[in-house]
Chain A
């Protein structure tokens, strides 16, 4: 689960980390009040969406699609600037390289006090899957696209693995400060912040914390000027206060509903819907559709123990996508019996009056019974014995209707 920068900053503030004063706003009036409250000097006016790349994004008018402003994060030097930027951002669509072409409507602003920046750094904490422990990454090339830095100058990124039984050691924190070229008061400030941030990461079950940029001010303090915070979904049960920060408008509505029904769904751009049990097999099904010249419309894993109701819900979700022109069901019955799936497929196609072509491949437990039930249903359901055959059939059927 991801949260907005303004929420992350508040959590940082509560954890005693060094952040600038700032205020969350949802209107131009609030933004102006925030400017006044922050002392009426230089402020940053920052679009709040979950996707990254906001600074280099573009804002478009929600009604007519006209370009309104370049840059979703602006430095305002006056009250007029704040009013202008807030007006250009709120309610408009921000397109960044992470949002996709449709972009995201910006409903939230963060107005943050400025600071005198001497240098920008990059700082992140994540879990290193290969080493199976937390990893701190830092670089002197702050404010930049870190993936670009990683590709062009990998030696410019410093990495520290933190042994979970020891925690972050003082010498590691000081060593990292040294690598970043910090000294004196800046080192002390950095050590305090990285130690606090690491504790924050662990105690809140974060999946990732990225600060880009972290800055050193002219008076040698370290300030976390950004806060991209993601939490481990599996651990949210022990953080009810964090669950409250969820902004569901930032998530794909169909994916949210699928999740509530115990399904895992990701919308794609093609026209062949897929309904599969198991994540790996669901990905493989998409791949094979593509291999035979079709385009998958979605990833959908009904899980290992799906019942008739879940199968019906899954069909409903697939068919909501107007691009879908046909559906491939691919079930390897293990614990799940194929006869039950077959009955679920029939119930769902009848309940939803499915007219698009449907290819069903059932293998595994009770597959003969499942295929017999489908064959005797009198419905226009094509069956297949292998995934390749199923994919070829649905691609032909969908192609034939275009």
Chain B
């Protein structure tokens, strides 16, 4: 189970012939992801060596989905082409099979390109966009599983904790924290640190609430915007499963962009303190230190009679 991506999802790689595309496609295959091929315009008909498999390449997403019936695509194209790649994937999934998951790893996509792409994707039912500027999504399996993105596969294990995060390495930290208390993960999703992205916290929380495998959720936020506050309000109203959290950026100065394009306190809004306060008020127990996420999660599991 897990959410959106099954352990045996069939995955296409957009930009498979580029350095990043080939490198990460190989890592995904090593993990056990079913990479069924890729797309690079004008390179259709070639194959790409991914170690244990030779992946076929198509010119367009329509051709690739028609040939493979892929469930998902992962995008490693350069920033200037990423918006168009998302729209192409959305249209192709819609045309060929009516649904699909698009994971955009690319960092540095122009904001207005994302405004257009998100507007396009959200006008279509059945298409889910994750990212951009994110580590991707992983549903660990008993043996392997489906890793769609750039996260290190070996730190994960199949289990019952859902993980959602705006950040990459901090997600890995959260995963390691679940492992430190002998809990694995149902699905882990990096939603990305850009100001405008596809899937948000609430989409993930709602899916985890409905997922039978998931019993609790770890939610990692960071400064900027008000997505954490909105997610907290949603949790207070709708979530029956325990949620624990952490918010990065307590010491971040206002007006300075902290690495991620979206991580900025502007006009006094988007501070970590406000986010933690909103989350705690909604019953989301927050760790002060990422090294404590495991302990806080364990207490919440015990309180819910799950340990």
Contact = CB atoms under 8 A, between A and B. Distances in A.
A50 B251 CA distance: 24
B42 interface: no
A164 interface: yes
A193 interface: no
Contacts of A284: 170, 173, 246, 248, 289-290
Contact of A163 (B119, B170, B224): B119
Nearest to B224: A129
The dominant DSSP class at the A interface is: mixed
B289 A98 contact: no
B143 to A, nearest CB: 20
A288 interface: yes
A129 B200 CA distance: 11
Interface stretch (B6-14, B46-54, B65-73, B109-117): B109-117
Contacts of A344: none
Contacts of B109: 234
Interface in B250-290: 250-253, 255-263, 267-268, 272, 288-290
A279 B111 contact: no
Interface string A282-326: 111011111100001001010010000000000000000000000
Contacts of A301: 259
B167 interface: yes
A232 B172 contact: no
B168 A278 contact: yes
Contacts of A127: 111-112, 115, 195-196
A332 B227 contact: no
Contacts of B167: 278-281
B101 interface: no
B253 A266 contact: yes
Nearest to B290: A284
A244 interface: no
Interface in A243-269: 264, 266, 268
B260 to A, nearest CB: 5
B238 interface: no
Contact of A287 (B114, B154, B226, B249): B249
A130 B227 CA distance: 7
A168 to B, nearest CB: 14
Given A280-B170, A364-B155, A334 B249 contact: no
Interface residues of A, number: 56
Contacts of B112: 127, 164, 202, 205, 232, 235
A150 interface: yes
B144 interface: no
Residue among A237, A296, A332 with the most chain B CB within 10 A? A332
A335 B268 contact: no
Contacts of B160: none
A118 interface: no
Interface residues of B, number: 66
A134 interface: yes
Given A132-B118, A279-B260, A280-B193, A288 B108 contact: no
Contacts of B118: 132
Nearest to A134: B115
Contacts of A364: 152, 155, 172, 176
Contact of A268 (B110, B223, B253): B253
Contact of B256 (A202, A266, A334, A335): A266
B173 A332 contact: yes
A147 B196 contact: no
Contacts of A299: 252, 256, 258-259
B182 interface: no
B226 A283 contact: no
B95 interface: no
Contacts of A237: 79-80
Interface in A109-140: 127, 129-130, 132-134
B137 to A, nearest CB: 15
B165 A388 contact: no
B258 A287 contact: no
A386 interface: yes
A268 B170 CA distance: 21
Contacts of A233: 261
Interface in B217-248: 220, 222-227, 230, 246, 248
B119 A165 contact: yes
Contacts of A304: 150, 168-169
Contact of B173 (A129, A264, A335, A387): A387
B165 A280 contact: yes
B218 to A, nearest CB: 13
Residue among A132, A277, A386 with the most chain B CB within 10 A? A132
Interface string A82-116: 00000000000000001000000000000000000
Contacts of B268: 147
Nearest to B115: A164
B292 interface: yes
Nearest to B111: A232
Contacts of A342: none
B251 A98 contact: no
Nearest to A204: B112
Given A127-B196, A287-B251, A364-B172, A282 B111 contact: no
Given A286-B251, A287-B249, A334-B169, A280 B222 contact: yes
Nearest to A268: B253
A152 interface: no
B17 to A, nearest CB: 19
A273 interface: no
Given A130-B225, A304-B150, A333-B152, 11 more contacts: A129-B195, A134-B115, A164-B116, A205-B111, A279-B222, A280-B169, A281-B290, A287-B248, A364-B152, A364-B155, A391-B289
10 closest A-B pairs by CB: A280-B167, A279-B259, A278-B169, A280-B170, A235-B110, A283-B248, A334-B152, A388-B291, A281-B169, A301-B259
25 contacts: A127-B112, A129-B225, A129-B227, A130-B227, A132-B122, A133-B115, A150-B267, A164-B116, A205-B111, A234-B261, A235-B111, A266-B258, A268-B251, A280-B260, A281-B290, A283-B249, A283-B258, A284-B248, A284-B289, A286-B251, A301-B259, A332-B176, A334-B172, A364-B176, A387-B173
